[in-house]
C-alpha cells in the first residue's frame, strides 16, 4: 500500500489522481490533501475517503475549515505544505499545485527521499538546477513527470541513458489559434483563448496553451528534467494530441507514446512505474483517427515560444523570471486588464529589466528572481492600464 500526499487536490490533477486511486484501492491510499482555498471541496474529499490531515494554503480558508470540521488536522500556508510532504508516513507526493508555489514542496519532498509525481512544471522552470542538485544529493528520491509530454518522453526513454538520445520532440496541439492569421492576434478575447481544442485544464494553463507559452515552459522543464541541451529539444505541432511526445535515439529510431488525452494515464504511470496496472479509460481507435498530422511551430505568431527558448538558453534566473512574469501577465489578461499580445510584450520587458546572475542557480536567487519579476510585470501592467 502506497500512502500518497496529494497537493492541488481540488484541481484537475487532483480529480484525475482520485480517479486513479479509486481504481486501485488495494494499492494506493490518499493520506493527506492540500489545496489553495477551496475548503468545501477539501472537506468533501476528506470525508469521503476518511483522510484526517489536510492543508489549505489560504489562512482564511483554513480557519473556516477548522470551524466546521474540528476533528480534522488543518495546516496552512507554505509551512503546512512542507510539513505534509515530509511526513514519514507517505511515500509519494503528487504535486498538482498551480504556479511557482509548487516549487518548495517539490524540493522538500526530494530532500526527504520521496517519489514525486510532478505535474507542477513551474518547479523545474523556476529552480531546475536546484532540484537537480537535490536529486543528486538524495538518491532515494525520484521525480516522475506527470505533464503528459514529459511523461511520454519518460516512457519512451524507459531508463535508457541520455547519451543515447539525439532529440526530444515535444508535441503541441497548437491551441485554439493554430490557424489564426497574425493580424487577428491583437483582438483575441479571454473567451476565445479559453477554448482549448483537446485538453480540459485550469484557466491559467489554458491561456498558456493558447499563447504556446505552455510549450515554452515545457521545453525548459524537459531541459532540466532530462538534462538534455536546448539544441536537442524540438517542438512539433500535432493538432490532435494523439502522440503525447517522442524521443529520437542516436540510431535514428523514433519512439512515441500515444493515447487518449486523459491525465489518469500519466498519473498512474508515475505512481506505478516501472510496473503497469490496468486502467479504465478510453482506448485509441486508430482506423477512426485515420491520419496524424505534424507541422513546424510558428515562432513569429507565437513569440512566447521563442521567448521561452531564449530564456532557457540564457539560463540562471531567466527561466524563473519568465515563469513568474507570465503568471502575473496571464492573470491580468484573464481580468481583461491587458491584451493577449501584451503577454509576450510584458515578458520581453521583464526579461530585459532583470540583471542576470552568474554561476549555478541557488534557491535564494530563484525565489528573489520570482518576486522581482512579479514586480516588473505589475509595473508593466499598471502602465498599460493607465494608457487605456
Interface residue list for Mg ion (CB under 5 A): 147-149
Listed residue (97, 91, 104, 94) closest to 121, CA to CA? 97
CB under 8 A, 24+ apart: contacts of 36-43: 36/10, 36/61, 36/97, 36/98, 37/61, 38/10, 39/64, 39/65, 41/9, 41/10, 42/9, 42/10, 43/68, 43/69, 43/72
Using CB atoms, what's the residue nearest to Mg ion?
A: 147
Write down the least CB distance from residue 350 to Mg ion, Å: 23
Write down the least CB distance from residue 315 to Mg ion, Å: 22
Listed residue (315, 319, 296, 297) closest to 360, CA to CA? 315
Q: Rounded to an integer, what distance in angstroms lies between the CA atom of residue 217 and that of residue 102?
A: 15
- 43/235 with CB nearer Mg ion: 235
DSSP for 157-193, written as a single string: HTT--GGGEEEEEEEE---TTTT--GGGGGG--HHHH
Write down the least CB distance from residue 199 to Mg ion, Å: 8
Q: Rounded to an integer, what distance in angstroms lies between the CA atom of residue 361 and that of residue 371?
A: 15
Write down the least CB distance from residue 292 to Mg ion, Å: 18
- 36/244 with CB nearer Mg ion: 244
Helix (H) or strand (E) holding 40: helix 39-49
Q: Which residues pair with 233 in a beta bridge?
A: 168
- 108/223 with CB nearer Mg ion: 223
372 within 8 A of 354, measured Cβ to Cβ: yes
151 within 8 A of 244, measured Cβ to Cβ: yes
Write down the least CB distance from residue 22 to Mg ion, Å: 23
Write down the least CB distance from residue 148 to Mg ion, Å: 5
What separation in angstroms does the CA of 173 have from each of 47, 150, 245?
A: 38, 15, 11
Write down the least CB distance from residue 194 to Mg ion, Å: 17
- 147/342 with CB nearer Mg ion: 147
- 171/365 with CB nearer Mg ion: 171
- 148/323 with CB nearer Mg ion: 148
- 33/267 with CB nearer Mg ion: 267
- 122/147 with CB nearer Mg ion: 147
Q: Which residues pair with 256 in a beta bridge?
A: 246
CB under 8 A, 24+ apart: contacts of 288-293: 289/240, 289/242, 292/238, 292/240, 292/242, 292/243, 293/238, 293/239, 293/240
Write down the least CB distance from residue 209 to Mg ion, Å: 8
- 149/342 with CB nearer Mg ion: 149
Write down the least CB distance from residue 134 to Mg ion, Å: 23
Listed residue (151, 312, 296) closest to 223, CA to CA? 312
Give SS3 for 203.
helix
Helix (H) or strand (E) holding 258: strand 254-258
Amino acid at each position: 500500500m502506497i500512502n500518497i500526499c496529494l497537493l492541488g487536490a481540488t484541481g484537475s490533477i487532483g480529480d484525475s489522481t482520485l480517479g486513479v486511486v479509486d481504481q486501485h484501492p488495494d494499492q494506493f491510499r490518499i493520506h493527506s490533501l492540500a489545496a489553495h482555498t477551496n475548503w468545501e471541496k477539501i472537506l468533501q474529499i476528506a470525508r469521503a475517503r476518511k483522510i484526517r490531515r489536510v492543508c489549505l494554503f489560504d489562512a482564511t480558508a483554513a480557519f473556516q475549515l477548522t470551524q466546521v470540521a474540528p476533528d480534522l488536522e488543518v495546516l496552512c500556508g507554505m509551512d503546512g505544505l512542507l510539513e505534509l510532504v515530509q511526513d514519514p508516513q507517505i511515500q509519494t507526493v503528487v504535486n498538482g499545485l498551480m504556479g511557482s508555489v509548487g516549487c518548495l514542496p517539490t524540493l522538500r519532498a526530494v530532500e526527504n527521499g520521496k517519489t514525486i509525481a510532478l505535474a507542477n512544471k513551474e518547479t523545474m522552470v523556476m529552480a531546475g538546477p536546484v532540484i537537480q542538485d537535490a536529486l543528486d544529493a538524495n538518491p532515494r528520491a525520484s521525480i516522475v513527470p506527470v505533464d503528459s509530454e514529459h511523461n511520454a518522453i519518460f516512457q519512451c526513454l524507459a531508463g535508457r541513458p541520455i547519451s543515447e538520445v539525439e532529440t526530444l520532440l515535444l508535441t503541441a496541439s497548437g491551441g485554439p489559434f493554430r490557424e489564426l492569421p497574425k493580424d487577428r492576434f491583437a483582438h483575441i478575447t479571454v473567451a476565445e483563448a479559453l477554448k482549448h481544442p483537446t485538453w480540459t485544464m485550469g484557466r491559467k494553463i489554458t491561456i498558456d496553451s493558447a499563447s504556446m507559452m505552455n510549450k515554452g515552459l515545457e521545453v525548459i522543464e524537459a531541459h532540466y528534467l532530462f538534462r538534455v541541451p536546448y539544441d536537442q529539444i524540438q517542438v512539433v505541432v500535432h493538432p490532435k494530441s494523439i502522440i503525447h511526445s517522442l524521443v529520437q535515439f542516436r540510431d535514428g529510431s523514433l519512439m512515441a507514446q500515444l493515447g487518449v488525452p486523459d491525465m489518469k494515464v500519466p498519473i498512474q504511470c508515475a505512481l506505478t512505474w516501472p510496473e503497469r496496472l490496468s486502467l479504465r479509460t478510453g482506448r485509441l481507435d486508430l482506423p477512426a483517427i485515420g491520419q496524424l498530422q505534424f507541422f513546424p511551430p510558428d515562432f513569429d505568431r507565437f513569440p512566447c515560444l521563442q521567448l521561452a527558448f531564449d530564456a532557457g538558453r540564457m539560463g540562471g534566473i531567466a527561466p524563473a523570471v519568465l515563469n513568474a512574469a507570465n503568471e502575473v501577465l496571464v492573470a491580468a489578461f484573464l481580468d481583461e486588464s491587458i491584451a493577449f499580445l501584451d503577454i509576450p510584450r510584458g515578458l520581453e520587458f521583464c526579461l530585459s529589466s532583470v540583471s542576470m546572475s552568474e554561476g549555478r542557480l541557488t534557491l535564494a536567487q530563484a525565489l528573489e528572481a520570482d518576486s522581482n519579476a512579479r514586480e516588473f510585470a505589475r509595473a508593466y501592467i499598471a502602465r498599460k492600464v493607465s494608457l487605456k
